[in-house]
Amino acid sequence: MNIVLLGYMGCGKSSIAKALAGKLKMNSIDLDDYIEDQENKTITQIFADQGEIYFRKRENKYLKQLLETHTNHIISLGGGTPCFAGNMDLLKDNNHNKSVYLKTSLEELVDRLFLEKEKRPLIAHITLKEDLKDFIRKHLFERSFYYNQAAYIVSTDEKTVEEIALEIESTLF
């Protein structure tokens, strides 16, 4: 069984995947890191050189590859992954995957992401906190349809990475 973590950027997917993998004695794979390894480029470079459509096609290809060739892994997806190319259907149609939406409030996402926006190309250009809030609000509205199709939903607000990992463990097992 793979446990697939999804949610908006800044919700803690990568950190929680590592913590959960340690708890459950499983390996973790970050889909964005996997794509960068396979393409020999950063996600930012892929977007700049080939564009988003190319990236989304490759993302779908590599997600399928991971789901077909890896078992007993914690897989953290990119924030947009569930929303494109039928990726959410891939997760739902496979009984060997347990998808978990790491649901984080708008306010908490704004607080987290404003502090690290320089590291995130999608929002690096946003200078005002209120503009970031509007940007995230719009994305959450568009993406919540996909996120809410996850088999499980775990709220991350005001919880540590360890608390969230424990909650996921107790929910799934």
Residue 20 has a pLDDT of 97
Annotated binding site for Mg(2+): 14
Question: Does residue 76 contact residue 18 with C-beta atoms inside 8 Å?
Answer: no
Can you give the pLDDT at residue 122? Answer: 82
Query: Which residues are annotated binding-site positions for ATP?
Result: 10-15, 120
**Binding-site residues:** 10-15, 32, 56, 79, 120, 143
| Homologous superfamily assigned to 2-167 | P-loop containing nucleotide triphosphate hydrolases (3.40.50.300)
Q: How confident is the model at residue 147 (pLDDT cuts 50, 70, 90)?
A: very high
Q: How far apart are CA 102 and CA 63, in angstroms?
A: 19
Express each pLDDT in 152-166 by its tens digit: 999 999 999 999 999
The 10s digit of each residue's pLDDT in 29-42 is 999 999 999 999 99
Q: Specify the pLDDT at position 158.
A: 93
Domain-wise residue ranges, the chain: 2-167
The more confident residue out of 35 and 44 is 35
Known binding residues for substrate are: 32, 56, 79, 143
Q: What does the angle CA 56 – CA 61 – CA 66 come to, to the nearest 5 degrees?
A: 120
